[in-house]
A and B are shown apart, each in its own frame.
Chain A
């Protein structure tokens, strides 16, 4: 049972490039989330999705795009990467039964040069 996976685990890119971070879950959870974690800020919600084709902005959505055509996948795209987007990105999912408990993927460490 793979649970929730993220790829790539590490990524180095340059300013201005487009980058897509992948998230895949095998639980058929309805809800999926993208967070970024920076020193001093904790986990901040970027986007979330309540179901396939339903997405909504979180606290820090600027510069990011998401889509969810299938329940199990929730990719996050940085349209034109900036140095301020250097961070650790976590994907999470929730089954909607156990009262909003979220389960996290292993994270993607992104460095924008």
Chain B
């Protein structure tokens, strides 16, 4: 059973602080990793994708990947109330399952003014 694990939260973050979200995955063959943001009642929208070990930055968001530890994280700098949402980690299901992603259950983030 291929699994993607996230802390469900809620993760309460003061406005302006850094939110740190973690995700672990079980399939060592996974090569593609994604972070989606989902507002309540809305559909998931892509924030970041990462494919290589290390950090990838996009505005206030930084994704970090460590394939040896099977760990991917998302940092949100200068958190804003508009960042309050559920963040879904998604991992591709290995080379024999092209196109299919396994999603974590999501971490709810609440940014408090």
By a beta-carbon cutoff of 8 Å, the part of chain A in contact with chain B is: 31, 33, 35, 40-45, 48, 50, 58, 90, 94, 96, 98-107
Q: Name the contact of A45 in the complex, choosing from B32, B100, B106 (C-beta under 8 A).
A: B100
* Chain B binding surface SS class: loop
Contact with A along B36-71 (1 / 0, CB 8 A): 000000111110010100000000000000000000
Chain B, Cβ-Cβ closest to A59: B102
Write 22 A-B pairs (CB below 8 A) sorted by A numbering. Answer: A31-B99, A42-B105, A43-B88, A44-B103, A45-B101, A48-B100, A50-B99, A90-B43, A94-B99, A99-B49, A99-B51, A100-B32, A100-B92, A100-B101, A101-B34, A101-B46, A102-B90, A103-B46, A104-B44, A104-B45, A105-B43, A107-B43
Contacts of B32 in A (CB 8 A): 99-100
Is A40 a contact partner of B101 (Cβ separation < 8 A)? no
Inter-subunit contact B105/A41 (CB<8 Å): yes
Q: Mark B69-106, 1 if CB is under 8 A from A, else 0.
A: 00000000000000000001010100000111101111
Residue ranges of B at the interface with A (Cβ–Cβ < 8 Å): 32, 34, 42-46, 49, 51, 88, 90, 92, 98-101, 103-106
Report whether over half of chain A's contact residues are helix, strand or loop; otherwise say mixed. Answer: strand
